[in-house]
Amino acid sequence: MTSTTGGARRSTATASCAIPIQACSRTRDSRTTEAAAGETPPTSLAKHVRIDEEALRTNARLAREEFLQRASEGPLAPARGASRGPSTGDVLGITLIIDFSDDTWSIPAASIDDYCNQLGYTGYGNNGSVRDYFLDVSEDLLDYTNYVPSAYYRAIHTKEYYTNPDAPYGQRARELIIEALTAMDDAGFDFSQYDADNNGTVDALNCFYAGDTWNAWAEGLWPHASAVDFCRDGVCTNAYQITNLGSNLRLGTFCHENGHMLMGWPDLYDYDYDSSGAGVYCLMGFGGFGTNPVEPCAYMKYDAGWGDVTVLSAPQGGLVAPAGTNVMYKCNHPTLSREYYLIENRQRSGRDVNLTDDGLAIWHIDTHGNNSNQQQTPELHYLVTLVQADGRWDLENDTPPARRTRCRTRTGGTAARRASRSWT
């Protein structure tokens, strides 16, 4: 199989750190009792004490479970189990823009409309608009635009009210969203136009609010995704995502969250943060950040119906896999339909310019897996595994070069041959 560089219509922009903020800004090992430079060490603690690794993982898992539970609590929450939206065709979402008497807007509504919908958008250093991104990575199969009001909705209460950390997490975010939706309905807005697949559910609901985040994690208006039930014109809302505007607009998180809402894509990072999942090699992993998020990996494109897929039943040579396209090769497990390999070519250009390596990416897929399970046993393993050419398994082991791990395979035919021989 030959890797070639293609996709001339891809444009390039420089992105900032493509991993979560907490990973970029960490300055102290959270597992130790050491004092920072210039601080007096606590005299009550024994030297060189380290927190038990298993306890650290357990605490992280429990915190995540609490977050997921609290995100769906409160009188405004509907039943769990939001359905996926449409992944092809012309799809209209709704993007609310809200400010407060004690924190007014700084980014004009027209700028947010451009960020969502303008073709060839370059504002705030972004590589295109949200619409550009999904047109690009779907190869024009998904034209996703958003209704953005021409003016901000001014919330009934102050921002201090909605960010009250004593209220159940997510409750006042949903209260705020329902306020804005009710105001739109009172003005004659037709919600029925926002259900492209005619399943009775608004396909996507985004909410931007003015200013910075005033809360700690999992409190008040801390950015999150959940569900809210608001029914008008024969349709109901379900999934939503809410985040603060701050002083700029960035594509990454918005595209990642809409990957959840529209395509039903799962996260490919480890919720315990004790492994690296798909690393920076997928929008739904650590690559979905900044002004130029990477492409969805092969499995996401395949799941969305965007893949140009050739099934390989035996090793073959002389095959072409152009980069910057949705061409991929599939090797099925001989007996398990849920398990297979996908092979694609990823090069550091265009939307993938911020990858830490390039070449043929071989993905092992098991739809019964989960990217929080890095154990690599028959019972516990990833949903989407990047087969790493150096054999170090840095992504699973979360060793320091994890997000720079090698994916390349250069010898003609090697990728398909390796995939076809690797079943255990």
Report the pLDDT value the prediction gives residue 71, as an integer from 0 to 100. Answer: 38
- CA–CA distance, 23 with 421 (Å, rounded to integer): 37
- CA–CA distance, 112 with 149 (Å, rounded to integer): 9
The whole-number average pLDDT for the span 401-411 is 49
Q: Confidence band (pLDDT; 50, 70, 90) for 7?
A: very low
User: Who wins on pLDDT, 54 or 164?
Assistant: 164
Report the pLDDT value the prediction gives residue 406, as an integer from 0 to 100. Answer: 53
The whole-number average pLDDT for the span 337-355 is 96
Whether the per-residue pLDDT at 179 is higher than 70: the answer is: yes
Whether the per-residue pLDDT at 419 is higher than 50: the answer is: no
Average pLDDT, the chain: 81
Q: Percent of the chain beyond pLDDT 70?
A: 75
Report the pLDDT value the prediction gives residue 43, as an integer from 0 to 100. Answer: 56
Contact 358, 347 (CB under 8 A): yes
For the entire predicted model, the pTM comes to 0.78
Closest to 306 measured CA to CA, from 57, 134, 166, 80: 134
Whether the per-residue pLDDT at 26 is higher than 90: the answer is: no
Report the pLDDT value the prediction gives residue 78, as an integer from 0 to 100. Answer: 32
* Lowest mean pLDDT segment, chosen from 133-137, 188-192, 245-249, 400-404: 400-404
Cα angle 71, 77, 78; round to 5? 120
| Domain locations in the chain as residue ranges | 89-263, 271-420
Q: Confidence band (pLDDT; 50, 70, 90) for 407?
A: low
- CA–CA distance, 393 with 400 (Å, rounded to integer): 11
How confident is the model over 304-327, as pLDDT tens digits?
Answer: 999 999 999 998 899 999 999 999
The whole-number average pLDDT for the span 398-409 is 57
Specify the DSSP class assigned to residue 313: S
* Lowest mean pLDDT segment, chosen from 37-46, 175-184, 278-287: 37-46
Whether the per-residue pLDDT at 345 is higher than 70: the answer is: yes
Which residues make beta-bridge pairs with 235? Answer: 232
Closest to 152 measured CA to CA, from 193, 194, 211: 211
Alpha helices by DSSP H, 283-402: 298-304, 394-397
Contact 398, 276 (CB under 8 A): yes
Compute the CA torsion angle 87, 91, 92, 98 (nearest 10 deg): 20
Q: Percent of the chain beyond pLDDT 90?
A: 63
Report the pLDDT value the prediction gives residue 6, as an integer from 0 to 100. Answer: 40
Whether the per-residue pLDDT at 31 is higher than 70: the answer is: no
DSSP run (H or E) holding 257:
helix 251-263
How confident is the model over 372-397, as pLDDT tens digits?
Answer: 888 888 888 889 999 998 888 888 88
How confident is the model over 32-84, as pLDDT tens digits?
Answer: 444 444 555 555 555 555 555 565 555 555 544 444 444 333 323 333 334 57
Q: Confidence band (pLDDT; 50, 70, 90) for 368?
A: very high
